[in-house]
């Protein structure tokens, strides 16, 4: 006899029972009492489900039972508790996919929310559960689990023997189902509350952590690592959008961080959609969504994808990308959690970028302030040295007058037919004058009154030549050069002279002789600084925009902060008595200033001092050219009140075949050119009442050609005749001046 009975799952009210009947309901009441007890005790859901199965299967004498719960994330009816060989006989695989529910009696019961009681499956395979019957099942009861009209699952009992289900059996099973559904709902509510509380705690901690991080890289790392742990998913990536381009800047997986990369073509469409709509994009199963294409650098085969925009200031600046190898892996709480993390990330990233920009601006201000202070210091230094320089210049000019006479007449004597003793004496005189001349030259360099003879110069080759002479080593060499072995040294401590020269440097317009003097002064200063401790003296030459930058860095004890501002003062020295005159660095200052450059000293963080020189590549200074051809008979007017200078110039011009004449004032010169014709004027600009420009202006009206043929005696003008007078230099200057176009 076939018995397939179904009834709608409704709340069941037990009929009134007399005292005589109470004994027959004892087992059913015991089952309900046991369930109520474990439910009220707040035990875990698995215990409630196991108790329900144990009591009902024992009471109904059915050996197989299972409670299947609906998993909306995966879309399957999954075994949550069982008794007996469920997976092999009742539900193979432990789960029934949504597409297969109609093939199972318990699946139809769940879908239609109707209880089913079958006495003998073998009697009607067409309308009953074919799969269960094939596994030897005979009797089966399936009761849906429902709470607040929300289907939760199904309670299934089965046995291999035919069995009918009485009204009492059905009522008892429906009451058990109601009690189990209540326990499931309570457990899920509890889990939901606990999960929300945990997420709230995680978000609070994450928010505090992110707000405390101002370094952008550290912030991005914290977002993906802490965010993935909070989300409990295998991968969380962070994309940033800059100028319309998406880039994965940070990613966290179970195996570590993901290497940053440009967004592949497959990802751009999804990211662009999120950026355009400013809304999350959730693909529950990427295999079922045509918008998804596998990305080339994904660490595993993903099934679920969740993209959430990161918004700041109303604009999408990036996106969080959560991925899982399980389909339907992200429920509503997960999506809310990731959205909140994205909101926190937007604020934190904006703050970090503002902080980075402010730090950059602060550094720029500090750099500008440092440069301003340095410029102010150099201006004060220049003003101070200018005053001292005027005094030094006066002294130098006063010394130049007798030196001019001594050198001029000594050179004239040298040209005479002298005895060996006399010639030797003249050479001694000239050598002494040369030494005095160098002293005066140092004073004039410091006073910015030394003539600069610039020419295009390969500073790298010049520097290499200087260092080669003094034991320098190429970068990479490690053989120490003792300071005592160098003409610059004077110490027994080993000192390495190391050069670091940038290749292919452009030429600079400089006076090579004075630059050589500058380099030697700085190297000598470094040797003295390391004379007691040894170390490496590094000479570095490199380009810096429109400048060439020369650095000389020592590893000495350093210069005290109170002394550093005075190192370029004349006659200031920190050396022991007798070791220096205090003019070396002052001369360096004068040389650099004459070349329109800058020089300063600064302490090194690792110890020692670094001297920095910056020379412009395009300094506007006269370049010496080829001397014109020999002259013959030109008339020259020499205008100076200094007799020694006049005599030296008269002698030099006469030897050139010129016709010199001398007057002692500017007024006399103007009167002379009105009476006689002259081809050239040599004028001492130090004369009172009429300076060089005034003379030139006066001559333009009466003798315009002569106005273009005026040479200064002394001074800093390019082409001026230097003092002391050197006959060769006088001849060159005169030839060059006479070669000028009118």
pLDDT surpasses 70 at 22: no
pLDDT surpasses 70 at 589: yes
pLDDT of residue 639: 92
Rounded distance between C-alpha atoms, residue 90 and residue 139, angstroms: 12
Average pLDDT over residues 321-325: 85
pLDDT surpasses 80 at 239: yes
Rounded distance between C-alpha atoms, residue 652 and residue 250, angstroms: 81
pLDDT surpasses 50 at 19: no
Average pLDDT over residues 538-560: 92
| Least confident residue range of 183-197, 312-326, 395-409, 484-498 | 484-498
Q: Which residue has the tokens 């020269």?
A: 501
Which are the contacts of 677, defined by CB distance < 8 A and separation ≥ 6?
A: 635
Token digits of residue 361: 């601006």
Q: What is the mean pLDDT of the chain?
A: 78
Range(s) within the chain of domains with CATH label 3.30.565.10: 455-616
Its sign, for the CA torsion 562, 565, 571, 575, is positive
Average pLDDT over residues 609-618: 90
Rounded distance between C-alpha atoms, residue 32 and residue 485, angstroms: 106
pLDDT of residue 537: 93
Average pLDDT over residues 285-291: 80
| Cis peptide bond prior to 724, omega within 30° of 0 | yes
pLDDT surpasses 50 at 331: yes
pLDDT surpasses 80 at 202: no
Which are the contacts of 208, defined by CB distance < 8 A and separation ≥ 6?
A: none
The third-level CATH classification (topology) of the domain covering 213-358 is Beta-Lactamase (3.30.450)
| Least confident residue range of 223-237, 375-389, 520-534, 612-626 | 612-626
Closest to 603 (Cα-Cα) out of 556, 649, 548, 558? 558
Average pLDDT over residues 196-213: 77
Burial readout 440-455 (b: 16 or more C-beta within 10 A, e: otherwise): bbbbbbbbbbbbbbbe
Rounded distance between C-alpha atoms, residue 683 and residue 664, angstroms: 10
| Least confident residue range of 348-357, 369-378, 382-391, 510-519 | 382-391
Residue 577 — very low, low, confident or very high, per pLDDT cuts 50/70/90?
Answer: very low
pLDDT surpasses 70 at 690: yes
Range(s) within the chain of domains with CATH label 3.30.450.40: 4-192, 213-358
| Least confident residue range of 20-29, 611-620, 686-695, 697-706 | 20-29
pLDDT, one tens digit per residue, over 464-492 is 988 887 655 444 444 444 444 444 445 55
For a pLDDT cut of 90, what percent of the chain falls above it? 9
pLDDT surpasses 90 at 248: no
Rounded distance between C-alpha atoms, residue 448 and residue 144, angstroms: 105
pLDDT of residue 124: 59
pLDDT of residue 448: 53
pLDDT surpasses 90 at 125: no
pTM: 0.43
CATH hierarchy code of domain 4-192: 3.30.450.40
The region, left, alpha or beta by phi > 0 then psi within -120 to 50, assigned to residue 715 is left
The third-level CATH classification (topology) of the domain covering 455-616 is Heat Shock Protein 90 (3.30.565)
Residue 261 — very low, low, confident or very high, per pLDDT cuts 50/70/90?
Answer: low
Which are the contacts of 190, defined by CB distance < 8 A and separation ≥ 6?
A: none
For 553, list phi and psi in degrees, rounded to 5. -115, 125
pLDDT surpasses 90 at 513: no
pLDDT, one tens digit per residue, over 42-94 is 557 787 788 878 888 888 888 888 889 988 877 888 888 888 776 555 666 67
pLDDT surpasses 80 at 512: yes
Rounded to the nearest 5 degrees, what angle is found at the Cα of 61, between the Cα atoms of 60 and 66? 75
| Least confident residue range of 392-401, 551-560, 604-613, 702-711 | 392-401
Closest to 399 (Cα-Cα) out of 451, 435, 448, 428? 435
How far is CA 266 from each of CA 270, 276, 307, rounded to the nearest angstrom?
8, 17, 14
Q: What is the DSSP string of 549-605?
A: EEEEE--SS---TTTGGGTTSTT---SPTTS--S-HHHHHHHHHHHTT-EEEEEE-T
Average pLDDT over residues 515-531: 89
> In what side-by-side order are the strands of the sheet with 659-663?
659-663, 635-639, 680-684, 710-713
The most confident of the ranges 15-19, 70-74, 185-189, 335-339 is 335-339
pLDDT surpasses 80 at 393: no
pLDDT of residue 164: 86
- Spatial contact of 623 and 603, defined as CB atoms under 8 Å apart: no
Closest to 117 (Cα-Cα) out of 248, 5, 275, 221? 5
The third-level CATH classification (topology) of the domain covering 635-738 is Rossmann fold (3.40.50)
How far is CA 472 from each of CA 460, 466, 479, 495, 540, rounded to the nearest angstrom?
13, 8, 10, 10, 12
pLDDT of residue 107: 86
Rounded distance between C-alpha atoms, residue 252 and residue 341, angstroms: 15
User: Is residue 610 classed as helix, strand or coil in its secondary structure?
Assistant: strand
Residue 481 vs residue 430, higher pLDDT: 430
User: Is residue 6 classed as helix, strand or coil in its secondary structure?
Assistant: strand
Token digits of residue 567: 């190192």
pLDDT of residue 39: 65
pLDDT of residue 620: 44
The most confident of the ranges 132-136, 178-182, 314-318, 695-699 is 314-318
pLDDT of residue 6: 47
Rounded distance between C-alpha atoms, residue 403 and residue 396, angstroms: 10
Range(s) within the chain of domains with CATH label 3.40.50.2300: 635-738
pLDDT of residue 611: 95
- Spatial contact of 170 and 157, defined as CB atoms under 8 Å apart: no
Average pLDDT over residues 153-169: 86
């Amino acid at each position: 006899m076939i018995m397939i009975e179904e009834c709608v799952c409704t709340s069941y009210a037990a009929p009134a029972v007399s005292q005589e009947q109470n004994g027959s309901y004892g087992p059913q009441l015991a089952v309900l009492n046991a369930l109520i007890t474990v439910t009220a005790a707040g035990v875990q859901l698995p215990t409630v489900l196991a108790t329900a199965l144990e009591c009902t299967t024992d009471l109904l004498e059915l050996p197989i039972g299972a409670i299947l719960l609906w998993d909306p994330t995966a879309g399957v009816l999954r075994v949550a508790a069982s008794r007996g060989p469920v997976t092999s006989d009742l539900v193979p695989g432990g789960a029934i996919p949504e597409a297969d529910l109609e093939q199972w009696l318990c699946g139809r019961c769940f879908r239609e929310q109707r209880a089913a009681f079958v006495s003998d499956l073998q009697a009607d395979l067409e309308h009953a559960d074919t799969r269960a019957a094939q596994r030897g099942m005979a009797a089966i009861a399936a009761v849906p689990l429902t709470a607040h009209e929300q289907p939760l699952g199904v309670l299934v009992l089965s046995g291999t023997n035919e069995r009918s289900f009485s009204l009492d059996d059905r009522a008892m099973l429906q009451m058990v189902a109601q009690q189990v559904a209540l326990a499931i709902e309570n457990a899920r509510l509890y889990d939901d509350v606990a999960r929300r509380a945990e997420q709230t705690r995680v978000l609070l901690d994450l928010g505090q952590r992110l707000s405390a991080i101002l370094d952008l890289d550290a912030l991005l790392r914290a977002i993906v690592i802490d965010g993935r742990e909070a989300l409990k998913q295998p991968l969380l990536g962070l994309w940033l959008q800059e100028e319309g381009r998406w880039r994965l800047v940070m990613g966290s997986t179970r195996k570590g961080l993901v290497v940053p990369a440009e967004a592949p073509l497959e990802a751009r469409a999804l990211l662009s959609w999120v950026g355009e709509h400013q809304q999350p994009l959730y693909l529950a199963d990427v295999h079922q969504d045509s918008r998804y294409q596998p990305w080339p650098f994904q660490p595993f085969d993903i099934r679920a994808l969740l993209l959430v925009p990161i918004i700041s200031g109303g604009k999408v600046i990036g996106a969080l990308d959560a991925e899982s190898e399980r389909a339907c892996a992200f429920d509503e709480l997960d999506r809310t959690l990731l959205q909140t993390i994205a909101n926190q990330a937007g604020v934190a990233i904006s703050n970090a970028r503002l902080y980075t920009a402010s730090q950059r601006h602060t550094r720029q201000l500090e750099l500008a302030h440092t440069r301003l202070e340095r410029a102010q210091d150099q201006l004060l230094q220049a003003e101070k040295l200018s005053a001292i320089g005027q005094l030094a210049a006066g002294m130098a000019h006063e010394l130049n007058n007798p030196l001019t006479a001594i050198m001029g007449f000594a050179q004239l004597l040298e040209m005479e037919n002298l005895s060996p003793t006399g010639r030797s004496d003249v050479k001694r005189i000239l050598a002494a004058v040369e030494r005095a001349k160098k002293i005066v030259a140092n004073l004039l360099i410091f006073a910015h009154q030394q003539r600069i003879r610039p020419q295009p110069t390969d500073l790298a080759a010049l520097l290499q030549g200087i260092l080669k002479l003094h034991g320098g080593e190429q970068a990479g060499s490690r053989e120490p050069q003792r300071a005592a072995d160098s003409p610059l040294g004077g110490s027994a401590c080993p000192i390495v002279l190391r050069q670091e020269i940038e290749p292919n440097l452009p030429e600079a317009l400089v006076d090579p002789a004075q630059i050589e003097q500058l380099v030697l002064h700085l190297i000598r200063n470094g040797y003295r600084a390391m004379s007691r401790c040894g170390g490496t003296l590094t000479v570095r030459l490199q380009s810096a925009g429109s400048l060439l930058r020369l650095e000389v860095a020592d590893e000495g004890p350093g210069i005290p902060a109170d002394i550093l501002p005075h190192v370029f003062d004349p006659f200031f020295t920190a050396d022991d008595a007798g070791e220096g005159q205090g003019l070396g660095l002052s001369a360096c200052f004068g040389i650099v200033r004459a070349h329109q450059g800058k020089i300063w000293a600064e302490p090194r963080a690792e110890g020692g001092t670094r001297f920095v020189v910056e020379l412009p590549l395009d300094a506007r200074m006269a370049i010496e050219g080829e001397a014109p051809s020999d002259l013959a008979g030109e008339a020259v007017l020499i205008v100076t009140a200094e007799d020694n200078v006049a005599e030296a110039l008269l002698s030099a011009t006469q030897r050139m075949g010129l016709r010199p004449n001398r007057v002692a004032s500017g007024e006399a010169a103007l009167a002379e050119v009105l009476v006689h014709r002259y081809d050239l004027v040599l004028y001492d600009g130090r004369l009172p009442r009429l300076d060089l420009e005034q003379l030139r202006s006066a001559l333009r009206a009466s003798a315009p050609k002569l106005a273009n043929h005026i040479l200064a005696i002394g001074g800093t003008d390019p082409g001026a005749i230097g003092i002391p007078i050197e006959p060769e230099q006088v001849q060159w200057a005169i030839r060059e001046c006479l070669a000028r176009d009118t």
